[in-house]
Structure 1
Amino acid sequence: MAGPETTIRKHSETKPEVQSEGNLDPAHVALCLDIIESLWRQESTPSVASGEKPLDGLIRTVLSQNTNDLNRDRAYERLRRLYPTWEDVLEAETKEIAEAIKSAGISNIKAGRIKAILETVEDVFGKLNLDELKEWDHISARDFLQNLPGVGPKTAACVLLFNLDMPAFPVDTHVSRVSRRIGWFHPSASAESIQARLEEIIPPKRHLGAHLNLILHGKNICRSRKPECARCPIRYLCLTGKETAGS
């Protein structure tokens, strides 16, 4: 079921152009993901299984923008403690919301986005609930989410994947870094173009586990500073790993 046409800007008709794509061979991608899965096991036993309602997950994800998980969760928990329902949040002043979510950073901006999102959701659905999106097709759901204030491709993808059980492959700093270093994408490739192509190349049934695996790999081995290529199981399949091994 598609959503109200008037609320959706058809992002699917203007898919981001891929920038400087590298060696994005589906077989190579699958092999790398298989090996990384043998290390982190997030496809077989995912450590994240969100039971949050879609609107809850959306607001939590907005709070996560430009901060870490700890600050995000602190802000979210304080917001819900002070304002137990989304109706309470909607009735609050923006400055009061900003004070409640201060630990998440850029709180004035995020408070404005949260308020605007809640207003839009109520206008469209007549209630502060996004459960109806579960009945939509994933393209319409994505387009609706991306049309909300402050919601870009990554935020929308997180809600689709974790809260709506729909195909999506969010690209954070870890997924982006690992993908570029392996050689799937040129260093200049944007996160948005990486996301669009990985969603095409990686089968939907692998999206959740592969996404989590790449994050763990980026945090623990393929770190931003001093990556541990010597102990990386895909080093001989990785452009950066091969260069390091040959140096």
Structure 2
Amino acid sequence: MKNKIDLISPKEIVDLLEVQYGKAIWKRRHEPLDELILTILSQHTSDINSERAFKLLMDEFGDLETVLIAEVPEIERAIKSAGLFRIKAIRIKNVLSYIFEERGSLNIDFLADLPMKEAKKWLTDIDGIGPKTAAIVLCFSFGMPAIPVDTHVYRLAKRLRLIGPKITADAAHDLLERVVDQNMIFQFHVYLINHGRNICKAVRPRCESCVLSHKCPSRIV
């Protein structure tokens, strides 16, 4: 039987993992609409495949305005490398159409002026855009304190008891954003991904090498 241990706080997690991985500094990755389309392309595939598909999409059409008026089969052909290209082509077309109808142009920069809760709702009101996709855009394009809960963040948050075992990944977004200080949300997200990839793996986690193991209730001794 394991001895009872004090649970680790989000601040302790960030402080310890910063030492291990170096300070994570926010920098905009892509323009907001590009980030949104890239994130759609990245669903169920690797970053390499999604970035390649986005490049091919831009090579084929030149800009997203032209993608908007393209036929779905044309979009499908351009993004085949992303996998699930038929679903993603329809989704991209629908998302661009929605934005144009709502805003009169293909621009979502206005989200920067909204409170995060409103910005998140505006994005998730679009069919096919869930909490993770919205959080990625808000975090990486606008620097808002949104936590994209990918498989690594979700696994570590459960193992460290930051969320309960029955909490879904979608529900985890709002829960984690409430317990992690806004000023360290970006770092928290980046560090948990790095730690999940390198140490706290889904199978055979390397607990003996983990700087969080002394306060991890899921550690394998």
Of residues 138, 155, 166 in structure 2, which corresponds to 1:188?
166
Q: 5+ unaligned residues in a row in structure 1: which ranges? A: 1-22
Distance 2:187 2:24 in 1: 8
Distance 2:29 2:199 in 1: 29
Greater displacement, 148-157 / 131-140 = 131-140
Of residues 67, 78, 97 in structure 2, which corresponds to 1:89?
67
TM-score (norm 1): 0.83
Q: 5+ unaligned residues in a row in structure 2: which ranges? A: none
Q: Quote the sequence identity (%).
A: 37
CA contact (8 A) 1:154 1:171 kept: yes
Could you say what secondary structure the match of 1:187 adopts?
coil
* Shift of residue 167, structure 1, vs aligned partner: 1.8
Distance 1:102 1:188 in 2: 35
> What is residue 217 of structure 2 aligned with on the other side?
239
Greater displacement, 129-138 / 209-218 = 129-138
Could you say what secondary structure the match of 2:218 adopts?
helix
Q: Aligned residue pairs: how many?
A: 217
Q: Which has the higher contact order (CA 8 A, sep 6+)?
A: 1
In structure 2, relative to structure 1, the CA distance for the partners of 1:114 and 1:239 (3 Å cut) is: same
> What is residue 80 of structure 2 aligned with on the other side?
102
What amino acid is aligned across from residue 128 of structure 2 in structure 1? G
Distance 2:45 2:39 in 1: 10
Aligned CA RMSD, in angstroms, stands at 1.8
After the TM superposition, which parts of structure 1 deviate over 3 Å for at least 4 consecutive aligned residues?
A: none
Q: Does 1:67 align with 2:45?
A: yes
> What is residue 4 of structure 1 aligned with on the other side?
none
What amino acid is aligned across from residue 136 of structure 1 in structure 2? L
* Shift of residue 121, structure 1, vs aligned partner: 0.8
TM-score (norm 2): 0.92
Distance 1:148 1:24 in 2: 41
> What is residue 161 of structure 1 aligned with on the other side?
139
In structure 2, relative to structure 1, the CA distance for the partners of 1:99 and 1:179 (3 Å cut) is: same
* Shift of residue 24, structure 1, vs aligned partner: 11
CA contact (8 A) 2:18 2:24 kept: no
CA contact (8 A) 1:133 1:141 kept: yes
What amino acid is aligned across from residue 166 of structure 2 in structure 1? S
Distance 1:217 1:118 in 2: 35
* Shift of residue 51, structure 1, vs aligned partner: 4.1
Greater displacement, 64-73 / 152-161 = 64-73
Distance 1:24 1:110 in 2: 44
